[in-house]
């Protein structure tokens, strides 16, 4: 305890709270360390190991070429943009599993319009095609 004289003339008594704060901080740290951490289980679907490799896909890739004029060819055969979704839908319906679908490889001319490419991608998505790639030049 400390004694001091204030303006009132009598002794003023102040309690030293530093040891009290030190003890409380030590107790807080002890409780934080000894408290078990809260865990949340996360379900993870892991692949099942097999000794047999999966069979290779038999579907040949489909090559779509978009030229500067907006013309589209399906494996070298010209196709209209309006008929492209129907043709992709027929191809998607041939396979029960989307993983077995053929890969669509899109090759665009450097000066092709993005709008035509966006319509081709929308047609593939609406038809249910899941494997879409771009040809690197």
What was the pLDDT predicted at 6?
56
From first to last of its 137 residues, what are the pLDDT tens digits of the chain?
A: 555 555 666 676 788 888 999 999 999 999 888 888 777 787 888 878 888 876 665 778 889 999 988 899 999 899 998 888 899 888 888 877 778 888 899 999 888 888 999 999 999 998 888 888 888 87
The pLDDT score that the predictor gives to residue 10 is 65
Cα 14 from Cα 116, distance rounded (Å): 82
Separation of alpha carbons 72 and 104, rounded Å: 13
Helix, strand, coil in percent for the chain, rounding step 5: 35, 20, 45
Q: Are 80 and 121 in contact (CB under 8 A)?
A: no
Structural domains of the chain, with CATH: 62-134 (3.30.420.270)
Q: Are 6 and 12 in contact (CB under 8 A)?
A: yes
Chain mean position to CA 72? 31
DSSP H or E stretch at residue 65: strand 62-66
């Amino acid at each position: 305890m400390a004694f001091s004289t204030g303006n009132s003339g009598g002794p003023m008594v102040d309690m030293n709270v530093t040891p009290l704060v030190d003890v409380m901080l030590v107790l807080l740290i002890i409780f934080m360390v000894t408290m078990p951490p809260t865990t949340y289980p996360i379900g993870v679907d892991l692949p099942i190991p097999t000794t047999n490799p999966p069979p290779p896909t038999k579907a040949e890739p489909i090559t779509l070429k978009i030229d500067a004029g907006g013309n589209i060819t399906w494996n070298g055969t010209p196709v209209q943009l309006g008929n492209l979704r129907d043709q992709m839908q027929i191809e998607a319906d041939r396979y029960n599993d989307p993983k077995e679908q053929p890969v669509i490889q899109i090759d665009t001319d450097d000066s092709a319009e993005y709008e035509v490419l966006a319509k081709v991608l929308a047609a593939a998505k609406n038809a249910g095609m899941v494997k879409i790639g771009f040809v690197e030049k």
